[in-house]
Structure 1
């Protein structure tokens, strides 16, 4: 069986998390909003405890954390939910980066089609936005700045702390897509000033289909003026109607707890795997895409000179499972928009593969090296 090396797309569920979810499915199957019997009360308590646990990890009030289906929904809520306010207040300027997840980029383009102005800031070849590129664009009409914590394709960490410090106390809201950073760089998230943050469970050993949006109360104890995208129930205090998936919530909370507790150990193990990979390919002709000093130890985006990425996928599919970018774009053979935004040449982009792993990954990269040597 191929070694799984696509953790930035989705991670396997931690066995401890799976056991907890099975327990909830078997024994705590009530609807968390059923108020007339003990089964509902029991489920509601699990949701409440889980909410408090995740909020505690990030140092936020539990009433500011709202469960969603994942970061894509959370990103849409944070951005699209501001459209009505933007149109009525005339503060209709938004700033983001050209390397965001499609759930941010496409939502921003939707805002443009409805009269808003959006600046898309591109990085240089390092893959890292400079804070001043964002801050120099802020005016009194800027309603929102949205920047991801860690890029999913390159693993490059963005300067969210610097941006957050500069925007704190201003009238501009700051949203962070922490999809790839939560569970790995929690200390950074705890130290960053922000108004909204998107989270998901399935990147950190939790289940697919559950995430969260943090809406902090800041200015005059009010949350950002986000309107719900759906209607039909009062779950999540009206922001996100629908039956709460109790088992998924419990799994999310446990995955977050485990990652927070074991983060140092996990990052150290991931760094050793990266060292092993770089040692294996050391004799090959390659270029790393993105500045390594700002890269997660669990990710590498690399181009092997003269070797088309699609060819690597086909030739090594029995040995390795990896990708050339974000899963939201994997159905297309179009070049990576992230690497294009970094200004890399087309040939290097076509040669790029993204490899991502976790602390438990066991991988021998010799088959990859053999294949590349065979066609070099």
Structure 2
């Protein structure tokens, strides 16, 4: 791929920070011990490092060290949270779950599995054209048998922020657990995740860490643990919820990436907003619509539909200039209309042609959106 192609698909993944890569390499080639090894110094150093990382990462969401377990990423965390809570729901006859129709497939598919094979009833709430689920809409659906609410923090296609902090405060006084898929919002909207959310899924590769590492926060309610059961077995690591040898290099990379992002977050947000303004100014040369509530959105994601243009054709035309996507990388092989935009009630021609621009300062500091906008404007049919 040509070096001149600007990468504007960080909602899919970010480049690993070189400083993070250096840390990962160190724990692969020098301090390479197994954190479960108790008979020598290699294992002891690895165990101590993992505990340091766990403590720091837990503190970023105002959780206790023992409330965070490491996973391979948000998808696994979502599955542990939702499928692991299901046995408790079955035992207590609480088999009703509330979620939204705009969740990532890593939430929708486990919930469909529970609905289709284990008799759970799942409400998939529609957000309307704003792309934002209201707290009131969720509270109206609560029932005595509602086991959990699962609501994403930031939508991966539109960047719209969901009211998870407000919802957490409301649900804390009920027996209903709240699970939040925070893959896109972790680090970027940090205050929300310090709210009393019971279960938080986190992914490292959205903030400059390697792929394959994430976490699940399992926050206690007083002395009571969230009643999760494991969905895998074999070793008992991570409080018996996620067995397997801990990937120390990836954990330390996640730790380093989070420290770097935490220290630079204010600059990141300022630069992200400045880039957003430059892109929108350039797009003034085109005919477009923004999808989703722009008053409740992260600064680094835009979802745009261009009048009378096919999104896939546009991506092909722009491939030598910019890397962008139509939506979730997990469903990019499918050219069907976005399930997120369709759930927002947008027409098929809009839902099928939404383009997502997402950027990660300072890596895109020198990107000039004007040539892209000029190409798009040239492709659009002239108005009569």
Which interval holds the TM-score relative to the shorter structure?
over 0.9
Q: Offset of 1:261 from its aligned partner? A: 2.0
Deviation track 1:236-276 (CA, whole Å, cap 9, x = no partner) reads: 12110111000100011111122222211101100000001
Pick one of 215, 218, 234 that aligns with 1:215: 218
- Checking the alignment, whether the CA contact within 8 Å between 1:67 and 1:211 is kept in structure 2 is yes
Does structure 1 residue 127 correspond to structure 2 residue 143?
no
Please give the secondary structure, in 1, of the residue aligned with 2:295. helix
Please give the secondary structure, in 2, of the residue aligned with 1:94. strand
RMSD: 1.0
Please give the secondary structure, in 2, of the residue aligned with 1:12. coil
Does structure 1 residue 9 correspond to structure 2 residue 12?
yes
Please give the secondary structure, in 2, of the residue aligned with 1:96. strand
* Alignment match, 2:191: 187
Q: Offset of 1:188 from its aligned partner? A: 2.1
* Alignment match, 1:291: 293
How many angstroms apart in 2 are the aligned matches of 1:164 and 1:59? Answer: 14
- Checking the alignment, whether the CA contact within 8 Å between 2:337 and 2:353 is kept in structure 1 is no
- Checking the alignment, whether the CA contact within 8 Å between 2:336 and 2:352 is kept in structure 1 is no
- Checking the alignment, whether the CA contact within 8 Å between 2:16 and 2:210 is kept in structure 1 is yes
How many angstroms apart in 1 are the aligned matches of 2:110 and 2:355? Answer: 27
Q: Offset of 1:229 from its aligned partner? A: 0.8
- The 5 A counterparts of 1:133-212 are 133-190=137-194, 192-212=195-215
Please give the secondary structure, in 2, of the residue aligned with 1:235. coil
* Alignment match, 1:90: 93
* Alignment match, 2:370: 366
How many angstroms apart in 2 are the aligned matches of 1:262 and 1:45? Answer: 26
Does structure 1 residue 110 correspond to structure 2 residue 118?
no
Q: Offset of 1:350 from its aligned partner? A: 2.5
How many angstroms apart in 1 are the aligned matches of 2:368 and 2:353? Answer: 21
- For structure 1, list consecutive stretches of 5 or more residues without a partner in the other structure: none
- Checking the alignment, whether the CA contact within 8 Å between 1:306 and 1:351 is kept in structure 2 is no
Please give the secondary structure, in 1, of the residue aligned with 2:244. coil
Give the number of equivalent residue pairs.
374
Pick one of 232, 239, 242 that aligns with 2:241: 239
Q: Offset of 1:153 from its aligned partner? A: 0.2
Please give the secondary structure, in 2, of the residue aligned with 1:148. coil
How many angstroms apart in 2 are the aligned matches of 1:137 and 1:350? Answer: 30
How many angstroms apart in 2 are the aligned matches of 1:154 and 1:162? Answer: 20
Does structure 1 residue 101 correspond to structure 2 residue 95?
no
How many angstroms apart in 1 are the aligned matches of 2:148 and 2:89? Answer: 10
How many angstroms apart in 2 are the aligned matches of 1:351 and 1:63? Answer: 44
Pick one of 334, 337, 340 that aligns with 1:335: 337
Deviation track 1:163-208 (CA, whole Å, cap 9, x = no partner) reads: 1111012100011111111111112212x22111000100001110
How many angstroms apart in 1 are the aligned matches of 2:48 and 2:279? Answer: 45
How many angstroms apart in 1 are the aligned matches of 2:328 and 2:75? Answer: 13
- Checking the alignment, whether the CA contact within 8 Å between 2:24 and 2:250 is kept in structure 1 is yes
Please give the secondary structure, in 2, of the residue aligned with 1:212. strand
* Alignment match, 2:273: 271
Q: Offset of 1:366 from its aligned partner? A: 2.6
- Checking the alignment, whether the CA contact within 8 Å between 2:93 and 2:145 is kept in structure 1 is yes
- Structure 1 residue ranges (4+ consecutive) displaced by more than 6 angstroms after TM superposition: none
How many angstroms apart in 2 are the aligned matches of 1:87 and 1:63? Answer: 26
